Amino acid sequence: MSDHKERILVVDDAPDAREVLRRNLTAEGYEVITAPGVAEAVEILDATSVDLVITDLKMPKVGGLDLIRHVRARFREVGIIMITGYGSIETAVAAIKEGAENYLPKPFTDAELLSAVRDALQKVRFQRAALSQEAAVPAHSFGLIGESAAMRRVYRAMAKAVSVSATVLVTGESGTGKELVARGIHYAGPRARAPFVPINCGGIPESLLESELFGHVKGAFTGATESRAGFFQIADGGTVFLDEISETSLAMQVKLLRVLQDGEIRMVGGTQQLNVDVRIIAATNKELLNLVRRQMFREDLYFRINVLNIDVPPLRERDDDVLLLAQHFVHKCSEELGRGAPPFSDGVLEMLRRYHWPGNVRELENVIHRLVVMSEGESVDIPDLPSVMRFSVPRGVGRLCSLAEVEAEHVRHVLASVGGNKTRAAEILGIDRKTLRERMKRYLPPDEAQD
């Protein structure tokens, strides 16, 4: 159960039945209110916040189905369980159609009752998270989506970064949204009207990186037919975002250190130092201190860029943020495709929430885009999910297997999660493409291992 003490309204015209339900549910830690009929229940609902209604079907004057209709019309985020001594397929179907989460025919055991209550309240939590995206996002979320405690820590750190001009190091796994954090800091600060220039240090060949960053003069190298400004000059007055800064060479790190210390650059082939006014925000998915210890990253540069550190949490540590993000991506994709957003079943919402998301937010967006594009029915259900999600099981469950088998399964899983994109899969696995190709040839069938 959550820290919030969930409140349950029990509606039954039989005093003994109400008391048994009240006693059993109270013993489980729920707050329980009882009502002898629908009229009293309606008054309670109008005056009190309730998470779940448990109602009898047959009651004098007004029955349980009418109460279900009333709740569904006015209290969208309240769960409902119907109980009755007149069990039949017809009444069960009617209760579910009107909006009940579950149907319990009498007599039922305490275990059956508590199981139904837990399931219904879990659905309520999922639905509230999915339906409350706009209201849930804090006012100072910098355009990011999430209300978990982990993301609120990120917002607080971003607010501190906005108020000063210090260099920021954004850390976190691939796909967590490090560039979005950097953009949020830039556009909420005094440099918002100046350029924000993102640079993927790992995506530019080392031989070209210096020229791309600092520019070059005419004749500096073969093919330099004219002088060209670099990213730092383009960003003058604004922000340079150095993504994957861990991929820069030690020689390039010396040049970046000079920019941070003196605010000066020198174009390739040039002789003059040029002053630039830029704020640097760097990002990495690697542990820079480990690279410092291995002499693969300069210690002085590390301390220069790590004045403020913002660690972006992986999606698996963000509670129900996955549902808020999923709703955002559903609407975004539906608008791009020019079609209505398909509803997701409760089973799908639960799978999305429980999945461990090795590719983080980027993987979630990929999955949602696929579901919306491929959706053909009235709603998205569990069979529509990628097989890697439907058949994944927690580690430690099932037969014992070799380390090679575990590694093979994980490689296959990561590749599936990013739609076969080998560059992205290698980033997530923390290896280079050559090593990934070797693993694929070793573990996967020939048709799957083709590059």
- For the chain, the structural domain boundaries read 7-131, 149-311, 316-449
**Confidence at residue 133, expressed as pLDDT on a 0 to 100 scale:** 44
Which conformational region is residue 16 in: left (phi greater than 0), alpha (psi within -120 to 50 degrees), or beta?
A: alpha
Chain mean pLDDT for the chain: 85
The superfamily in CATH containing domain 149-311 is P-loop containing nucleotide triphosphate hydrolases (3.40.50.300)
Q: Which residues pair with 83 in a beta bridge?
A: 56, 104
How many other C-beta atoms can be found within 10 angstroms of the C-beta atom of residue 315? 27
Q: What's the fold here for domain 7-131?
A: Rossmann fold (3.40.50)
What tokens does 219 get?
Answer: 């004749």
| Alpha carbon separation from 227 to 168, 205, 232, 266 (Å, rounded) | 31, 20, 15, 13
- Nearest to 306, CA basis, from 409, 157, 447: 157
The CA distance from 35 to 353, in Å, is: 35
- For the domain made up of 316-449, give the CATH fold: Helicase, Ruva Protein; domain 3 (1.10.8)
- The 10s digit of each residue's pLDDT in 23-59 is 999 999 999 999 999 999 999 998 889 999 999 988 8
pLDDT in tens, 245-259: 999 999 999 999 999
Which one has a higher pLDDT value, 426 or 4?
426
Quote the pTM value: 0.60
Q: What percent of the chain has pLDDT over 90?
A: 48
Could you give the CA distance from residue 368 to residue 331 in angstroms, rounded to a whole number?
10
Do the first three CATH levels of 7-131 and 149-311 match, i.e. the same topology?
yes
How many CA atoms are closer than 13 Å to the CA of 437, on its beta-carbon side? 6
Please write the tens of the pLDDT for every residue from 118-166: 888 887 876 666 555 444 445 567 889 998 889 999 999 999 999 888 9
